[in-house]
Homo-oligomer: A and B are copies of this chain.
């Protein structure tokens, strides 16, 4: 079963290594070996991380001689933002609750 786009994106972002790779790519396109340097991890491990980022559409890969430069593709991140924006009112309402206010009564038990 292929996971939907949102799931693939969130899943890729759930990994600190993946997020660190994206952060690095935010400062420009670079090669796989270069990306691997900060991590205490073998190349194949990085390669797999890149594959999940690519499947999620968060990066794309080119070809330049023997290098496969990676570049950030932020499109799916816009979807994440849209998704999370929907819930904005909940944390804003929480902030407002601190300045004292009616909290509403729980009614879930009646039907």
Chain A residues within 8 Å of B, Cβ to Cβ: 3-4, 6-7, 10-11, 13-16, 19, 22, 26, 28-31, 34, 64, 67, 69, 72, 74-75, 77-78, 80-81, 83-88, 90-91, 94, 106-109
Are B108 and A29 touching (Cβ within 8 A)? yes
Q: Separation in Å of the A80 CB from the closest CB of chain B?
A: 5
Q: Which residues of B contact A29 (CB under 8 A)?
A: 106, 108
Are B84 and A77 touching (Cβ within 8 A)? yes
Q: Which residue of B lies closest to A86 (CB)?
A: B26
Are A14 and B14 touching (Cβ within 8 A)? yes
Given the interface contacts A7-B15, A10-B14, does A85 sit within 8 Å of B81 by beta carbon?
yes
Are B87 and A26 touching (Cβ within 8 A)? yes
A69-B108, A77-B87 given; 9 more Cβ-contact pairs under 8 Å:
A6-B19, A10-B13, A22-B87, A31-B108, A34-B108, A64-B109, A69-B106, A77-B84, A78-B91
